[in-house]
Chain A
Amino acid sequence: MGSLQISKVEALVAQDQKFISTLTSYSLVLIIYANLNILQSSVLGVAASILYFLINGIFLGRAFFEKEDTFFRLMLGLLLFIMLLGFVGWFAVIIYNLNATMSSLVLFVVATICSLINRKVNHKKCHSASKG
């Protein structure tokens, strides 16, 4: 039952209808940025980060591990997301630095990449479904 509900939420996020998931992801980046500069609250930071992680982890999990079970899809999606975050962050650090603005920019870029990958996969699915 619980697993079924998680799958439903996952499908809803991955559908990204009217860019709702992507926009939520961007809003979370804004919240993280504001929190970094103004509030500096760990509670808000952790809450926003968990949501941000989940949305983008689901995007990548659905795109790359669709055939796996929900648990593995989510975990592998999260791992890919952490990899991507590290890679874009690494690129930023070797060319410039990682201050608050650059870190938020990294989050923005990663969210965009995840969203684009997800849209591409969704588009492929729609295309093959309409063909079928």
Chain B
Amino acid sequence: MPLGKQGLTRFLHISEIFYSFLVSLLFYLLLLSRTGEARTVWEVLHPAFIPTLFIASSLLFIILFTSEKVAHNLLFIIVHSVLIHSLFSIIFPAGDLSGQQMVLGRTRLVYDNAIVHGWPPWTVETVPFQIYEWFKGQSFQAALSVVLSRMLSIDIFWVHLSLIPVLWGFFTPIAAFLVTKTLGGNDKAAVLSSLLLSAFPYITYFGAISVPISLGFIFFFYSLFFVLKNLDSSGYSKNTLLMWAFSVLSFLSHSLTGIMSFSLLFLAMVYKSYRSEKKASPAAVKILLAVSFLFCASLLPLSLVYLRFFAPVLYTSFTLDKFYTLPAEEIVGLFFLGELIYGFDIQTILLVAMGPFLALLYAIYLLYRFRRNSTAKYRTQISFLFVAYLIILIDYRILKLFMTELPFNAERLWVIDGFLASPFLGLAICSATSSLKKLLKTTSPQTMSIISRSSLSWRRVLRIGGLLFTLNILTPIILGGWISYSLHTAYPQIAPLQTTWYELEAVKYIEENTKEKYIVIGDQWTTFAGEVIVGVNNPRAYYFLEFNRTGYDLFRKILEDPSPQVMIEAMNVNNARVAYFIVTEPRLGTEEFNRVVYQTLKNQQLRVFGIFGGGKLFVFTYEKT
């Protein structure tokens, strides 16, 4: 082995060992940051975490630029990805508040066999609504989590919390790698795009919460890969089958990802027929392509409107209200930057917009380069991905400006936007570094000879030094910084108090010490805690749905009048023998909490069942005689 190569291998080994140490340290720092009472991860995250992450990310980029071993590099990226998506599940006692806890609340019902006659666990009035519930996504995720939980013999709570961070961490970098390869990228560009997924804050956020749409995004990314692969193959192949399979699974996980998968699948089919028939009738296929583009772009908005035929709870419709009610500058802002115009600082706006913008520019550049070479390899895939990108850009604007009462935030499309952008970003960065390397190579032979003669001009030294610095230090540092700052933006800076350890303790204590059917009156935060332990609307251990009016009214009533009458009224809901009333100081405010506790104790009609969190949470009980 030549000395230079041997030195490089040794450097690589040392870098890999150091990187492994840093990642272990990062996981340890996350464990140290674990807390039972916090609003955001930033309140409790170890101060050394972000600097260490920055060093680890930069080092990982250096490894990726140096190493040729794809599988090794991808393994490092997978570990990095799992780490970046695990902040909620490791730091908070019950993961992120609300969304993923609501999903766990429904999954619990399946796990605890509280439902025995098929999904959904609640009654639905019509057959279309029943079908809607089957395909809503919660049922698919519930099934997957429950089967995995039973296989591993680990409580559903832990399986649910880690399901998405682990699956996302493992499979999205691989999907980014494969998509980049189908665009003609080399291994370096492909591994770069895998890691650059973490530079998109929305991707990081959705990979950190266990909700059905996150599962849908994973399947969407693979359906995109097989769609791209299928563009090259003729007739029916395994890729065709896999393309359909992933699209169906993407639809089963969430309607948004499913509809987007199918619209791209349809576009791919038209693309294929365009390629095969463009010589026979060029005008006709061009019209077909244009019409298909419009159809694919309108599929998502139209589907959302027509979803109401299945679900009477949805009221999505087209509207021009925003144009009448909002000022012109806000409309323009929404058109270009979307939600980012509301309260985000300039750095955040730049960070979120930079990746997709650079990717779009590079895609346009690639298409411009191929403009006169219609037979260029990968041209079809690149132009297809560019068109897909345009569809997302258009759909987001339609959803944001022309629609109302959407069943989800239009910003969820930014995750797909990031998926489409990361391969172009990887290709762009790889191409830029390759150009720098070429420039360095043309200069270096002269350098070596001149160095030995000690007559190198300062200008040349600066040029070569600058190139070496940019390639080996500056680029990894900038990219490492980008990923670290992106993480800082991805996890919310403002949030309500997360489910606390004492709320969980109280709920567990009630469950372990009650033999009979019971019902719990509490605020929605109590419901969030309750549903992760026993589920929501569980007939045996009843917590009201998070935003249930009856539950809310009962809670308000008992705050005013902590008497057995309200408890008895609640017991009638599920024919329970025991009722509990939970009141928590940080949720209610000290003054109100003290008043309610004092009044309840004074009345002596409700018994104290338990006090948790050093007096921050009281559980009162009443039993039917």
Q: A98 near B: Cβ within 8 Å? A: yes
Taking a contact as CB atoms closer than 8 A, the residue among A45, A90, A96, A107 that contacts B139 in the complex is A90
Pick the residue among A35, A42, A70, A98 that contacts B143 (CB under 8 A): A98
Complex interface residues of chain A between 73 and 100 (CB less than 8 A to chain B) = 75-76, 79-80, 82-83, 85-87, 89-90, 92-100
Q: Tell me, yes or no, whether B48 is within 8 Å of chain A by CB.
A: no
Residues of A close to B453: CB separation below 8 A: none
CA distance A107 to B153 in the complex (A): 14
Q: List 9 A-B contacts (CB under 8 A).
A: A39-B153, A42-B153, A42-B154, A52-B151, A72-B178, A82-B144, A82-B167, A85-B144, A97-B115
Q: How many A-B residue pairs have CB under 8 A?
A: 111
CA distance A96 to B115 in the complex (A): 9
Residue numbers in B under 8 Å from A48 (CB-CB)? 151
Contacts of B110 in A (CB 8 A): 93, 97-98
Let me know if A97 and B118 touch, CB within 8 A.
yes
How far, in whole Å, are A39 and B142 apart by their CA atoms in the complex? 24
Nearest Cβ in chain B — how far from A11, in angstroms? 18
Q: Give the residues in chain B near A21, CB-CB below 8 Å.
A: none
Residue B402 at the chain A interface, CB threshold 8 Å: no
Structural contact, B146 and A46, CB atoms closer than 8 A: no
Please tell me if the beta carbons of A85 and B147 are within 8 angstroms of each other in the complex.
yes
Secondary structure class of chain B's binding surface, majority of residues: helix
A83 touches B219 (CB 8 A): yes
A130 to chain B, nearest CB (A): 22
Chain B residues within CB distance 8 Å of chain A:
70-71, 74, 110-111, 113, 115-119, 134, 139-144, 146-148, 150-154, 167, 170-171, 174, 178, 219, 222, 238, 242, 245-246, 249, 252
Distance in Å from the Cβ of B140 to the closest Cβ of chain A?
Answer: 5
Query: Complex: how many Å from CA A132 to CA B111?
Result: 52
For the complex, is A112 an interface residue (Cβ under 8 Å from B)?
no
The majority secondary structure among interface residues of chain A is helix
Tell me the residues in window 17-60 of chain A with beta carbons closer than 8 Å to chain B beta carbons. 32, 35-36, 39-42, 44-46, 48-49, 52
Task: Provide the residues of chain B in CB contact with A93, threshold 8 Å.
Answer: 110, 118-119, 139, 142-143, 146
| Minimal beta-carbon separation of B291 from chain A (angstroms) | 33
B140 touching A86, Cβ below 8 Å:
yes
Task: Output the nearest chain B residue to A87 by Cβ-Cβ distance.
Answer: B249
Contact B147 A89 (CB under 8 A): yes
A36-B153 contact in complex given A71-B71, A85-B147, A99-B113, C-beta closer than 8 Å: yes
Taking residues whose C-beta sits less than 8 angstroms from the other chain, chain A's interface range is 35 or more
Query: A79-B171, A89-B144 are contacts. A95–B118 as well, Cβ < 8 Å?
Result: yes
Q: Which residues on the B side are within 8 Å of A42 (C-beta)?
A: 152-154
B146 to chain A, nearest CB (A): 5
Residues of chain A with a CB closer than 8 A to B170's CB = 75
* A94:B134 contact, CB within 8 angstroms: yes
Q: Given known contacts A90-B139, A94-B134, A98-B147, is B171 in contact with A44 (CB within 8 Å)?
A: no
- A99 partner residues in chain B, CB cutoff 8 A: 113, 116
The complex places the Cα of A45 from the Cα of B167 at a distance, in Å, of 19
Q: How far is the CB of B394 from chain A (nearest CB, A)?
A: 30
Contact A97 B153, beta carbon cutoff 8 Å = no
Which residues of chain A have C-beta atoms less than 8 A from B134's C-beta?
Answer: 94
A44 vs B167: C-alpha distance in the bound complex, in angstroms?
Answer: 22
B151 near A86: Cβ-Cβ < 8 Å = no
Q: Which residues of A contact B150 (CB under 8 A)?
A: 32, 36, 98, 100, 103-104
**With A3-B71, A80-B245, A82-B167 already in contact, 14 other A-B pairs whose C-beta atoms are closer than 8 Å:** A32-B150, A40-B153, A45-B153, A86-B252, A87-B252, A89-B146, A90-B139, A90-B143, A93-B142, A94-B118, A96-B116, A97-B115, A98-B150, A106-B147
Contact B71 A90 (CB under 8 A): no
Chain A residue numbers with a CB within 8 Å of B245 are 80, 83
Residues on B with beta carbons closer than 8 Å to the beta carbon of A69: 70-71
| Chain A residues close to B by CB (< 8 Å) | 3, 32, 35-36, 39-42, 44-46, 48-49, 52, 64, 69-72, 75-76, 79-80, 82-83, 85-87, 89-90, 92-100, 103-104, 106-107
B116 touches A97 (CB 8 A): yes
A96 close to B118 (CB less than 8 A): yes
User: Would you give the shortest CB distance from A111 to chain B, in whole angstroms?
Assistant: 12
Q: Is the CB of B113 within 8 A of A90?
A: no
- Which residue in B70, B111, B116, B143 is a CB contact (below 8 Å) of A86? B143
Rounded to whole Å, the gap between the CB of A104 and the closest CB of chain B is 8
Name the residue of chain A whose CB is nearest to the CB of B149. A103
Residues A92 and B143 in contact, CB atoms below 8 Å apart: yes
Please give the distance in Å from B488's CB to the nearest CB on chain A.
Answer: 30
| A94 with B116, Cβ < 8 A, contacts A42-B153, A75-B174, A79-B171 known | no
CB of A36, distance to nearest CB on chain B (Å) = 6
- Is A94's CB under 8 angstroms from B151's CB? no
Distance (Å) between the CB of A41 and the closest chain B CB?
6
Q: Which residue of B lies closest to A95 (CB)?
A: B118
The 9 closest A-B pairs by CB, nearest first: A45-B153, A89-B143, A86-B144, A71-B71, A103-B150, A90-B143, A89-B147, A49-B151, A93-B143
Chain B residues with Cβ below 8 Å from A89 are: 143-144, 146-147
Q: Which of A44, A52, A97, A107 contacts B113 (CB 8 A)?
A: A97
- B146 and A75 contact, CB distance less than 8 A: no
Q: Which of these, A72, A80, A83, A103, contacts B174 with CB under 8 Å?
A: A72
* Alpha-carbon gap, A86 to B154, bound state (A): 17
Task: Decide: A94 and B139 in contact? CB cutoff 8 A.
Answer: yes
CA gap between A64 and B113 in the complex, in Å: 36
Nearest-neighbor residue (CB-CB) of B74 within chain A: A71
Nearest to B115 among chain A residues (CB) is: A97
By the criterion CB–CB under 8 Å, are B153 and A94 in contact? Answer: no
A119–B70 alpha-carbon span in the complex (Å): 31
- Expressed in whole angstroms, the minimum distance between the Cβ of B70 and any Cβ of chain A is 8
**Bound: A92/B119 CA distance, A:** 9
Q: Known contacts A93-B118, A93-B142, A97-B115; is A64 also within 8 Å of B167 by CB?
A: no
Q: Which residues of chain B have C-beta atoms less than 8 A from A41's C-beta?
A: 153
